Structure 1
């Protein structure tokens, strides 16, 4: 049985990790060996992996989806920090409010809250 799935994103610039994933999204450093950092929190989540033909409403399939408590606040912080928003904040028919943002490594991130 699978216990967890961890996403791995290649980088040599951990300061960019801090700006996006720690400062704006609020993740904590759970492990740091100098060559790899693992961020997260103590929330319990189900193991999930999605496969898609498109990202919903004919958008590009995002690399990661991150559910947050207050998507509007995160959207405002991402805009203020100058991150590219390729899909604006939208209420979707399937019950989520979301936007897409490019992280510092070019990954397309779906940030969402369930409505």
Structure 2
């Protein structure tokens, strides 16, 4: 498994209300995607990416970061082999990703995800 990107997940009470701060003030592009509970903003001039979310719609807890990997099944196996707590099982989501949540020994919850081609 190789990490390809890490994206901060910021919790906000209202996605539309937060949009202008991240786009107008920080200069991030309009949403790369918006599922109604999570939206991703990217920088038009760098690799900077930020997700804002109200609450994860399909998982029992909210992650602090999203970790994009090239092989999510290998990442899942490695987390299990190391005895890390899986707080959301390996799941293929309707929006085209396969992911799971793992709790780091420090208590932070990470969303480990692989995007499907297409």
Task: State the TM-score, normalized to the length of structure 2.
Answer: 0.57
Q: 1:112 maps to which residue?
A: 113
**Mapped partners of 1:53, 1:60: distance in 2:** 11
Q: 2:97 maps to which residue?
A: 96
Q: 2:64 maps to which residue?
A: 63
Structure (1/2) with the larger strand percentage: 2
Structure 2: runs of 5+ lacking an equivalent: 1-5, 9-45
CA deviations on 1:26-60 (whole Å, 9 max, x unpaired) are xxxxxxxxxxxxxxxxxxx7211111111232532
Q: 2:81 maps to which residue?
A: 80
Shift in CA distance, 98/77, structure 1 to aligned 2, threshold 3 Å: same
Q: How many residues align?
A: 74
1:27-66 matched pairs, under 5 angstroms: 46-66=47-67
Task: State the TM-score, normalized to the length of structure 1.
Answer: 0.58
Give the CA RMSD over aligned residues. Answer: 2.2
Runs of 4+ in structure 1 over 6 Å off:
none
**Mapped partners of 2:84, 2:67: distance in 1:** 16
